[in-house]
Structure 1
Amino acid sequence: MPPKRHLDTREGSHESSPKSLKKSFTACQRCHAHKIKCSGDQPCAKCQQTGFADQCRYANRDRKLKVNESYIDQLVSENQRLEEQLNLARNAQDEVGGGQPRPASNVDDSDTSTRNPLIGERAWFHPYDPSAPPIYIGEAACTAFATRFRQFLTGDKNATNHLTRTQYLTESALAAANSRPVTWPSLPQARLLVKIAFNHVGRVYHLLPRKANLEKLEEIYRTANFDCPLSTCKFFALFAFGEVYSIRSIPSSSPMVPGTPYFAKAMTLIQFVPERANLSYLENLILLSLFSYFLNRRHSAYSLIGMAMRLGLTIGLNHNVPESQLIDPVERQHRVRLWWTIYMFDRMWGSKMGLPMQVLDEDIHVDMPSTVYPQTEHDAQFLDTKYSIAGINLAQIAGEIVAKIYSRKTYHETFLQRVQKLLKSLKNWVETLPEHVKLKSQDDGPNQKHIVSLHLSFNQCVILATRPTLLHALILQTKTAASNERPAESISQAVLTLAEACIHAARHTHSLIVEEWVNGSLSMFGYFYAHYLFSSALVLAMSSLLAAKNKHDIGGFETSIEILRSMSDNGNLSAKEFYVNLEQVKLCLDSQSIQDANNGSQQRRQNNEANMLMPDRPAMPPMVVPASMQNQSMLPAPSGSQGLSLSSNTFAGFTTEMAFLEPTMQDFLAQSDMDLGLLNPVDMSTSDPGTLWTWPTPSLPTE
């Protein structure tokens, strides 16, 4: 007898004869039960005749089909191939600095274990003017975080509004500054101002080739050629930097930030957008974007660097130019470094406002900075190469933090898993830092300012990545204290480790800035040091509430207020904004302390009444412990903190890498993704709508 033929379902071809493929019907449940013939219709003929058409049901059956073994092998092979392609795509996305999420069609958006505890369902806006569009408030902004903290302290999320940002140079003030005549200074004064600018900002970022532009300045005065718009814009911006770094307070004759007239005049020279941009035009955009921060014009700074980014892409700055087309090594290196300065500003500016980066790392194909030889100390055109590369790598991590922690993108990884990856990158950054770029100990003398600036940026990245967890831990502690539970039973070690890392970074930042302030080397009108001090002060205030052993942190918080007040009184616009925010935080802390003290007094009276009713019992000790400051040490005492005095520099013993040396941090970084995934359902629960996971984002005042 010949073997039976199999059905080949791949191309709809059937090898069996038509007679052997008669369609077989399955009887309905009623006909099957009565063992009668069923017509197979819906409803069947018997059910219709007997009046049971509405009860005619058929059982679901999975028919078995015989197919060729080669067809099964083909399906398995194709499935494996698709899985490999999907894994390659996921790995490629993980390597991209833009933090692009994986396709997640099966991810539940309501699973808040994958989101930052500060991020709500909707973006945060404030309709500050009925005739103008609302202002977007980025959750990564420090002022936004200050508002979240105040909302926690007051317990009223809707009544505690975000503070309006009014401390910046307005367009009308800028026009008034431009209405005054601004002329080129004398040559000796111009030399001093340009050298001051190079000495301060030129040692932190690559803005211009130093030697070439000093020679250009001499040529302009020698030939009396003051009419070139690009040169005038460039040197007026440098004059503005020279003035803002050389003047300690605003003179009464000119109540505006030093250098503003030069800046205002320079802005009028770049109002047009060239069809074919050159490097000089990009240099001017970079200079003006950076100086905008001295006027607390953050949105303008972001827009200017965005214009530089787009124009840089049009002339291919993100690609290497063939050496045959650009032979001069200095010009080639200037082109490379100019791109990376734009890249750094794009990442850093966005991280300070919670705005996305404007170009992905996968679209960048230009080399990292390199050293041009021969080079001597006096005619060096560029910054130290290793220092520049360290700054670029740190800016890349900052961009990833905003994308992976503060965005509303959908990710497969949990929130803690993403934080762990970011902290691993930061730890690797510290461990691979060249020796001459590391901070020196106090015994080795003062550190150079550009080195301090780099490490302050690193600390800010750590704070930015971990402070949502710190605030979440504070909220959980308050709830467990109210329910008389032990914090250790309700908050995991991973969350406490992240909170501790945030506090370490804040203490180190505070220590570095106070040292600069005491030494008189802190720029009175600078934005970034004021911003870092404000960011660290918020963390110190939270630390003082988190554990009784951290109560000395409130001294650092108060010191920060005093420094910002002094900078504000001398005319620093950004310090004015941060000072107002910290004053409001202090009012909330004081109000909570009074309320907690009253609650403690009431508890003492109840205890005394109970003791009077039961005289045989020993008297209960007085309990004046605020609910939010329970004498339960959630965090271990910081390493090197023994004997810390509340002097001008409270946290002098802290270092950049201290947070990563803690055993709990090393254990956290060594945990697998599976272990971290199991932590989220407990620590990041959304069962209580009062948590920050479901924090509402109503229309609040502008950032």
Structure 2
Amino acid sequence: MAGSGSRVAKRSLNACTRCRRQKIKCSGSQPCDGCNKRKLTCIFDDRDQKILVTKGYIDELQQKLAKLQQNEHTDTVHVPVPLSPDYVDDRSPDPKDQNDAPGELARSSNDISDVQLQNELEDPASGLTNPLSSGPPAFMSAENGRTFYLGTSSNWSFTRRVLSLTHEQIYQEALPTGALLFDGATYDLGWDGLRVAQDLDTPAVPTFDHAMYLINTVKFRCGQMYHLFDENEFMHNLHDFYSQPKPNATGGLWYIHFLLVLAFGKGFVKQKLQGNKPAGAEFFVNALQLLPDVSVLHREPIESTEILCCVALYLQALDFRSSAHNYIGQAMRMAMAEGMHTQMPIEYLGENMVQRCRKIWWTVYILDREMTSLMGLPQSLNDDHIDTQLPAFPHSIQRTAAIGMHIKLSRIIAEINSTVYAIDGRLNRNFLVRTKTALANIASLADELRGSFPLLLEQAASGVSRISAYLHLLYHQCIILATRPLLFCFLKIRFESSDRCSEALNTSRNVRNLIQMCMESSQQIISILHSLQLEGLLETFLPFDLESIFISTVVLLMGPAIDIRWNYPAWLEKAYTIFEDIIDSGNLIAKFRRSELQLLDELLSCFPQDQPRRIPAPFSFPNNVLNLPGPPDSLASSFPPSAHALGHDILSDQGPTIEDEFSFTNGLTAAQIMAVADSIENIDTEWMSNAMIEHSIW
């Protein structure tokens, strides 16, 4: 792991002949920087690039060759024909040609840059396309008429697509949206968004001791992973504030910053809600009412960027995802305008300022990457433009390492979004090759993550590290994000024909192993969250644990609908107990999410394993699950009983397992992930491409 002097750099996808020969770093541009400076001819040799071809293409070439050879009037014809249907040009660059500088926070030498994207043919049947990002863009309208875009990689959008697909297959009509959770619809901030001076309702600030308790809670809950305020400056201003006979409630940006930290503190410690108003909302709203225009914020850009991060993270916790994404985007641009993404000179700006800016920058970077993925939108910043180091924590080297790992995982998320979820034809049409690329990227971090941040879940004498748990959860989310489009493909095929689905799964063990990997990562997430739950460390206000349990439960619900061998009732029961814990803490979003999952469970159970059947739609669909008079599962109870209802002993029933050459029950190692990724190299995807066309999965 890189130390405090590590730099984040992105290796070029290719090197020119001169740079490769001299074993020096190449910019990858045409001409490259080195050749350009020396006024030399810059030559790129593409003969080392791998080329993956389909069996159908090879058969076509062989047929053409046979016809040409039969033509007695034709001279000798030279047609390059691969040696076998599984031929792959696997010549790879010399390992010594790696362009990463020692200690840089870039992709490691076993990264997928050396398994680079194969040049694909333009044969329409040669590429398997991700159905979540291909075809017309998808939208869904809420009951109030507002239309929402279903982003390609969004967890929220993925569940909506699965729910819609399943409901339409069963009821032959569109999914009613009255009971579904939409952006910004869960909580009521009690504010119309207007900043009118006479309408300001200043909340009473807590006593000094109470404020210190809330601040320390914020430091423990999110200060280890995100930089929200500079402790030295913030605490100095705090003491000045409380030393006054009457604390000044118009103390400029610091007071706004203080209100936001109090809002987080209340959110972390206060569980009982007042209606639909979230904890700490009075402080948050007052902070936004006092927040000046962005043109004024630029006068104090350092603290303003921290403030914008606080606003974005609090809004994300309340499921105001679009607003949160907007605020973190403002923070990103403000930070870049101050040069925080560059190698800021310590000798000119001072050690304290540079270290603070590095902490701010990487917090903005991580939040931007993750929030953009949760929105399912393209990333707005290229890593090639980033040239700053990790912050230094003199008393905690592990914290520097944690930030470095967090950055790597956020970068992988961004790369999955731009490759696996790429728009048709814009980057690469071969979905399985892109999935292999993503898995190789993920595998490159597996051993480092295990070695530097062990979980020790099975050691009774050891507690669970919250930092380690968070990083492992993010790691398994990367695997699910890269592989779950296959689940959607096979669910659609299953609805069309159960026989065709079984045939497709049995035809390609490689694809089945990818889905199994998705299942195993979902179980790993539940296992980690269950351990946190036992120690009282579940994060019930910030949204990240909820996102983890939500996406893993969706995957485990889809599994048995595709193949009964992927039925894991014990893990589902664990998942629902985690939901209960988060709901009991006062999280209304978790209540909605669980209701949607129960609905999906009931809908999928309406499909028997032999032949799908249609049932009449219910007479009514609840408008708001939060206002239902019955128990929390009353939404799901309006549908027929689930075929895989929960009622199993967690400790004794682990569910059936798939006997296959890959098993990940003890966790996913780098070797196991790479074994699955490498198996894709020689896969014949023509059968699946035909299935995609036949079942209109575009």
Q: TM-score, normalised by structure 1?
A: 0.69
Q: Do the aligned residues in 2 keep the contact of 1:125 with 1:137 (CA within 8 Å)?
A: yes
Choose from 573, 588, 610 the match for 2:588. 573
Counterpart Cα distance in 2 of 1:480 and 1:597? 8
Matching residue of 2:27: none
The within-5 A match list for 1:159-174 is 159-160=174-175, 163=180, 165=182, 167-170=185-188, 173=191
The structure-2 alpha-carbon separation of the partners of 1:524 and 1:387, relative to structure 1 and needing over 3 Å to count, comes to closer
Q: 1: CA distance between counterparts of 2:611 and 2:691? A: 27
CA gap 1:170/1:138 in 2 versus in 1, 3 angstroms: farther
**CA, structure 1 residues 411+195, in 2 after alignment: closer, same or farther (shift >3 Å)?**
same
- CA distance in 1 between counterparts of 2:219 and 2:652 reads 31
Structure 2 residue 549 is matched with structure 1 residue 527 = no
Q: Which moved more, 1:278-287 or 1:566-575?
A: 566-575
1:583 aligns with 2:583: no
User: 3-state SS of the aligned residue for 1:685?
Assistant: helix
Corresponding position of 2:129: 115
**What is the SS of the residue equivalent to 2:479?**
helix
Is 2:323 the counterpart of 1:300?
yes
Q: For residue 598 of structure 2, what is the amino acid of its counterpart?
A: E
User: 1:635 — aligned with what?
Assistant: none
Give yes or no for contact 2:271–2:586 (8 Å, CA) kept in 1: no
Q: CA deviation at 1:397?
A: 0.5
Structure with more contact order per residue of length (Cα contacts < 8 Å, sep ≥ 6):
1
Q: 1:423 aligns with which of 428, 439, 457?
A: 439
Partner of 2:352, secondary structure, is helix
Q: Which residue of 1 aligns with 2:414?
A: 399
Structure 2: gaps (5+ residues): 1-40, 52-92, 101-105, 615-641, 658-662
Distance 2:472 2:692 in 1: 39
Instruction: Assess if the C-alpha contact under 8 Å between 2:439 and 2:674 holds in 1.
Output: no
- Corresponding letter in the other structure for 2:214: L
Tell me if the contact between 1:286 and 1:305 (Cα under 8 Å) persists in the aligned partners: yes
For residue 158 of structure 1, report the CA deviation from its aligned partner. Answer: 5.8
- Residue 473 of structure 2, aligned match among 453, 456, 471: 456
Higher Rg of the two aligned structures: 1
Query: Once structures 1 and 2 are overlaid, which stretch shifts more, 512-521 or 558-567?
Result: 558-567
Is the contact between residue 138 and residue 353 of structure 1 (CA under 8 Å) also seen in structure 2? yes
In the alignment, is the contact (CA less than 8 A) between 1:508 and 1:655 conserved in 2? no
Task: Provide closer, same or farther for how the CA distance between residues 412 and 524 of structure 1 changes in structure 2, counting only shifts above 3 A.
Answer: closer
Q: May I ask how many residue pairs the two structures share in their alignment? A: 551
Q: Distance in 2 between matches of 1:662 and 1:475?
A: 31
Which amino acid in 2 is paired with 1:149? V
Distance 1:556 1:150 in 2: 21
Cα distance change, pair 172–437 in 1 and its aligned pair in 2 (3 A): same
Change (3 A) 1:593 1:277: farther
Q: Per the alignment, do residues 130 and 217 of structure 1 end up closer, same or farther by CA in structure 2, a change over 3 Å counting?
A: closer
1:466 to partner: Cα distance: 0.7
* 3-state SS in 2 of match to 1:126: strand
* Matched residue type, 1:401: I
- Rounded Cα–Cα distance in structure 1 between residues aligned with 2:42 and 2:669: 40
Between the aligned partners of 1:461 and 1:508, the Cα distance in structure 2 is: 13
Distance, in Å, in 1 between the alignment partners of 2:595 and 2:144 is: 25
1:592 maps to 2:610: no
Aligned mates of 1:397, 1:119 — CA distance in 2: 18
Report the residue type matching 1:464 in the other structure: L
SS at 1:684's partner residue?
Answer: helix
Unaligned runs of 5+ in 1: 1-79, 600-627, 631-643, 695-703
| 2:451 alignment partner in structure 1 | 435
Amino acid across the alignment from 1:582: L
User: 1-side partners of 2:450 and 2:574: how far apart?
Assistant: 32
Q: Which residue does 1:608 correspond to in 2?
A: none
In structure 2, the residue matched to 1:183 is 204
Counterpart of 1:334, as a letter, is R
1:357 is aligned to 379
Query: What is the CA distance between 1:656 and its match in structure 2?
Result: 9.7
Q: Does 1:659 align with 2:668?
A: yes
* Structure 1 residues 198 and 164: alpha-carbon distance in aligned structure 2, compared to 1, 3 A threshold: closer
CA distance in 1 between partners of 2:224 and 2:470 (Å): 10
1:534-579 deviation digits (Å, cap 9, x = unpaired) = 111011112233444433x134334434543564465313213312
Does residue 217 of the first structure (1) align with residue 225 of the second (2)? no
* Cα deviation code 1:264-284 (max 9, x no counterpart): 111123240034452100000
Task: Call closer, same or farther: CA 1:304–1:540 in 2, change over 3 Å.
Answer: same
1:150 aligns with 2:163: yes
Over 3 Å counting, the alpha-carbon distance change for 1:649 and 1:346 in structure 2 is farther
- Which of these residues, 122, 131, 138, is aligned with residue 124 of structure 1? 138
Q: Deviations over 1:349-406 (max 9, x none)?
A: 111120121211011111233344xx3xxxx7x9711011000111000111111122
- Residue 686 of structure 1 and its aligned partner are, at CA, apart by 4.6
Counterparts in 2 of 1:592 and 1:485: CA distance versus 1, 3 Å: closer
Q: Is the 8 A contact 2:432 2:680 kept in 1?
A: no
Q: Percent identity?
A: 21
Flag the 1:131–1:142 CA change in 2: closer, same or farther, 3 A: closer
Q: Contact 2:494/2:500 (CA < 8 Å) preserved in 1? A: no
Aligned positions of 1:339-358 closer than 5 A: 339-358=361-380
Asked if the contact 2:340/2:388 (under 8 Å) is kept, the reply is yes
1:139 alignment partner in structure 2: 152
**Distance apart, 1:321 and its partner CA:** 1.5
Q: Deviations along 1:283-319, whole A, 9 cap, x unmatched?
A: 0001111111221111111001000011111111111
Determine the C-alpha separation between the residues in 1 that align with 2:437 and 2:291: 41
SS at match of 2:304: helix
Do the aligned partners of 1:206 and 1:338 also contact (CA within 8 Å) in 2? yes
Aligned to 2:404: 389
Matches within 5 A, 1:527-566: 527-551=543-567, 553-561=568-576, 563-564=578-579
Deviations 1:414-457 (A, max 9, x none): 21111111111111112123734221232142212222112111
Q: Are the equivalent residues in 2 in contact too, given 1:527–1:575 (CA < 8 A)?
A: no
Q: 1:450 is aligned with what amino acid? A: I
Q: TM-score, normalised by structure 2?
A: 0.70
Q: 1:246 aligns with which of 266, 269, 285?
A: 269
Cα contact 1:357–1:399 (8 A) shared by 2: yes
Q: Cα offset for 1:255?
A: 4.8
1:371-382 paired onto structure 2 within 5 Å: 371-372=393-394, 375=395
Shift of 1:488: 5.4
User: CA 1:456–1:486 in structure 2 vs 1: closer, same or farther (change >3 Å)?
Assistant: same
CA displacement at 1:650 relative to structure 2? 6.0
Alignment partner, residue 64 of structure 2: none
SS in structure 2 at match of 1:319: coil
Aligned CA distance change for structure 1 residues 141 and 291 (closer, same or farther; 3 Å)? same
Tell me the residue number matched to 1:668: 676
